[in-house]
Structure 1
Amino acid sequence: MVETLVNVIASIFVLTFGAAIGSFLNVVVYRLPAGISLIYPSSRCPKCFHKLGKTENVPILGWLWLQGRCRWCKTIISSRYPLVEAATGIIFLLVFWRFGYSINTLGYWTFLSWLLTLSLIDFDTMTLPSSLTKSGLVLGLVFQIIIGWQVARETGIINQLMFGIGGVVLGIWLLEIIRIVGSIIFQQEAMGDADGKLMATIGAWLGWKYVFLSSFLACGVGALIGITAMGLGLLNQKQPMPFGPFLALGGALTLFWGDWFLSFYLSFF
């Protein structure tokens, strides 16, 4: 009974904490591509520049309290803000339920926050900022070092670091091959150079073993959505489509269910 109560309280805390992080991710997604400081000025209405009060700045609830409009100039506030906050909270909760009270939970909270931020920026601007892909890659290798130290001290560090570096190298080369082949087939640029950097970041966190699976899932989901969108007339063959969100989705699916996907695939052979 006590253990159940503790887990419920912990889950509520994690959900709330994740929503708060999601609020900051909204700031990064909006300000980083625009070259605006992430710290100053504080959150405000983009039209009348009214500084948000404490109650207005509460994740999810603040938007509901304001009924999706600025309190002063009545400008509509995008519903994406509370959706991102809620999604981040749910992601944090799923990671907590999957990995429990461990360093893995802290690491994968960071990893998935990076993926979500990069996905939203790519969706908005068709770019993947190198400042985020590079920092995400470095953090992934640091994570591998920490995990290695926990497992077997110096030997574990070497093994895990090579595991992550192998993922970085394989991720870059694999996406480069896909980009070249896709450009030949479609007679146009299939994806940007930054997609390879994002795949390298994913490889740093997940290791070389799961790079193939992540890219396969990304290509599969991307192709399915792209073909469906063209069939519905929402996208034409020459129209570019951001691939970063699909890479991020592939990495996230691999994180949670990578072993199951591999076991399912190997069961046929």
Structure 2
Amino acid sequence: MDIILTSLINLIVFVLGAAIGSFLNVVIYRIPAGLSLLYPPSRCPHCLTRLSPFENFPVFGWLWLRGRCKHCQAPISIRYPLVEAATGLLFLVVLWNTANPVEMIGYWALLSWLVALAFIDLDTLTLPNSLTQSGLVVGLGFQIARGWDNGLNPATVSHALMGGIIGAVLGLWLLDIIAFVGSIALGQTAMGAGDSKLAALMGAWLGWKYLLLAGFIACFLGAFVGGGAIALGWLQRRQPMPFGPFLALAAGLTALWGETILNAYFNLFFPTW
């Protein structure tokens, strides 16, 4: 009975995440284009025919249609079901690693913002203010909710909120400093203004300590992947590369396993502490 219940909960969470992923596909496409998120309803981008609820069902709708529009037979990008499935899996990972309901819902929201921002940056090399700013505000709201959940004490709530504010300010300053130093070293713009705003969003959700960890992970991943891409000839030395996806990945890793990563680091390099 427990296995059946657990499987049912996992299925519900995956479908919920996939449905959110379906909406994120709309966000990823429409916000950079300056289009409304609500109107018109989902439709084929080629023949503009409105999709039925079954055609629009996350993941399985694309499989049922075999990757083509039912009406005009135009191909539908495989990225749509991949984003939906990936978001569903991320929701499951949060479920499996978070026991507190407030943190679970909060991290679902954080990962949703990060997925949208990462793909928009991959597509357009931009990080829209509408998403970074709204994500920052929701992140501070998350800090208030988590502080309230830890005890019905105004001091606890204000402490949690202040941690988010400090993290946001530090994220903004830290990425601006890195961008300034990088621009001087490279002789060209090293980082877009949106990256520092994304770092501020991360600080609001993670607090200053975990923001520093996420920033280190992002820089390491960016340097490793960027250096490898240049070595393999996939990227020119001065060709711009989106940094948002690395920040998003680092923020997700830190949100779920930040404490584990820090403990492993200190146990490895400072075992006597």
TM-score, normalisation: structure 1: 0.97
**Cα deviation, residue 100, structure 1:** 3.2
**1:255 to partner: Cα distance:** 1.0
Structure 2 unaligned spans of 5+: none
Does 1:73 find its partner at 2:92? Answer: no
Measured in 1, the distance between the counterparts of 2:42 and 2:186 equals 43
Q: Equivalent residue for 2:30?
A: 31
| 1:4 to partner: Cα distance | 3.2
> Where does residue 128 of structure 2 map in the other structure?
129
Q: Contact 2:31–2:37 (CA<8 Å) still a contact in 1?
A: yes
For residues 14-49 of structure 1, the C-alpha deviation after alignment (integer angstroms, 9 at most, x for no partner) is 001100110000001001111111111111111111
The Cα of 1:101 is off from its aligned counterpart by 5.6
Counterpart of 1:11 in structure 2: which amino acid?
N
Taking the aligned partners of 2:30 and 2:104, their CA distance within structure 1 comes to 27
Asked if residue 262 in structure 1 is aligned to residue 266 in structure 2, the reply is no
Q: Comparing 5-14 with 139-148, which one deviates more in the overlay?
A: 5-14
Aligned to 1:158: 158
* 1:244-266 alpha-carbon deviations (Å, 9 max, x no partner): 01000110111122112211222
Contact 1:164–1:208 under 8 Å retained in 2: yes
- Cα distance in 2 for residues equivalent to 1:26 and 1:227: 30
Give secondary structure in 2 for the equivalent of 1:164: helix
CA drift of 1:199 comes to 0.3
| Counterpart amino acid of residue 87 in structure 2 | T
Instruction: Kindly report which structure 2 residues correspond to 1:181-192, keeping only aligned pairs within 5 A, or say none.
Output: 181-192=181-192
How do residues 51-62 of structure 1 correspond to structure 2 at under 5 angstroms?
51-62=50-61
Give the structure 2 partner of residue 225 of structure 1.
Answer: 225
Residue 84 of structure 1: aligned partner? 83
1:10 shift after superposition: 0.7
Mapped partners of 1:100, 1:60: distance in 2? 27
Whether the 8 Å CA contact 2:120–2:127 is kept in 1: the answer is yes
Cα deviation 1:59-100 (Å, max 9, x = unaligned):
111101111111121111000000000000000010011113
Residue 54 of structure 1 and its aligned partner are, at CA, apart by 1.9
Please report how far the alpha carbon of residue 188 of structure 1 lies from its aligned counterpart in structure 2 after TM superposition.
1.2
Distance in 2, matches of 1:125 and 1:53, equals: 29
Q: Contact 1:25–1:117 (CA<8 Å) still a contact in 2?
A: yes
Which range moved further: 149-158 or 108-117? 149-158
Unaligned ranges ≥5, structure 1: none
2:65, 2:53 → 1: CA distance? 12
* Superposed CA offset, 1:91-123 (max 9, x none): 001001111361111111000000000001111
CA distance in 1, matches of 2:7, 2:62: 25
Q: How many residues align?
A: 268
Which structure 1 residue ranges, 4+ long, deviate > 3 Å from structure 2? none
Q: How many Å apart are 1:5 and its aligned residue? A: 2.5
Once residues 95 and 158 of structure 1 are traced to their aligned partners in structure 2, the CA distance between those partners, rounded to angstroms, is 26
Aligned residue in 1 for 2:103: 104
Local SS of the residue matching 1:207: helix
CA distance in 2, matches of 1:12, 1:258: 27
In structure 1, the residue matched to 2:171 is 171
Question: Which amino acid letter does the alignment assign opposite residue 31 of structure 1?
Answer: R
Residue 58 of structure 1 and its aligned partner are, at CA, apart by 0.7
Counterpart of 1:50 in structure 2: which amino acid? Answer: T
Alpha carbons 1:150, 1:156 under 8 Å: kept: no
**Aligned match of 1:200:** 200
Letter in 1 for 2:150: V
Between the two proteins, what is the percent identity of the paired residues?
55
Distance (Å, rounded) in 2 between the aligned partners of 1:231 and 1:101 = 44
* Cα distance in 2 for residues equivalent to 1:250 and 1:111: 12
Cα separation, 1, equivalents of 2:48 and 2:187: 46
Q: Give the Cα–Cα distance (whole angstroms) in 1 for the partners of residues 23 and 140 of structure 2.
A: 24
Q: Which residue of 1 aligns with 2:114?
A: 115
CA contact (8 A) 1:198 1:244 kept: yes
Partner of 1:17: 16
